[in-house]
């Protein structure tokens, strides 16, 4: 069983470079941050405040809030609802939600 998601072979599409927790990744411009995380093998993008249990993209449509990440220094961003852009910096969230 694969440990990460793989993109399907499609027509050529433009790529952007994003930083996922210090690792530079080239991803298609139509990806959401959650899709980029899953394809990179990052299955958990935050830890819960009570038990510290890992959470990752689940519903992929903005309902569950399990995919919260920090993007460019802004915390509590839903990865599944945010499209990638050139130079974006994505960091995992840990513990309680916080204000920027």
Instruction: Tell me the domains of the chain and their CATH numbers.
Output: 15-93 (3.10.20.440)
The pLDDT assigned to 1 comes to 43
> Three-state DSSP class for 63?
coil
Q: How many Cβ atoms from other residues are within 10 Å of residue 21's Cβ?
A: 14
**Residue 8 in this model has a pLDDT that exceeds 80:** no
Cα 28 → chain centroid: 14
**Residue 83 in this model has a pLDDT that exceeds 70:** yes
pLDDT in tens, 18-67: 999 999 999 999 999 999 999 998 888 888 888 889 999 999 999 988 99
CA end-to-end span of the chain: 39
pLDDT interval class at 16 (50, 70, 90): very high
Taking all residues of the chain, what is their mean pLDDT, rounded to a whole number?
88
The pLDDT assigned to 13 comes to 86
């Amino acid at each position: 069983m694969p440990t990460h998601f793989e993109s399907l072979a499609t027509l050529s599409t433009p790529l952007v470079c994003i930083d996922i927790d210090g690792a530079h990744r080239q991803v298609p411009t139509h990806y959401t941050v959650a899709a980029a995380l899953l394809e990179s093998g990052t299955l958990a993008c935050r830890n819960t405040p009570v038990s510290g249990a890992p959470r990752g993209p689940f519903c992929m449509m903005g309902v569950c809030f399990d995919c919260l990440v920090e993007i460019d220094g802004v915390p509590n961003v839903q990865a599944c609802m945010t499209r990638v852009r050139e130079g974006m910096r994505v960091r995992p969230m840990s513990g309680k939600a916080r204000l920027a």
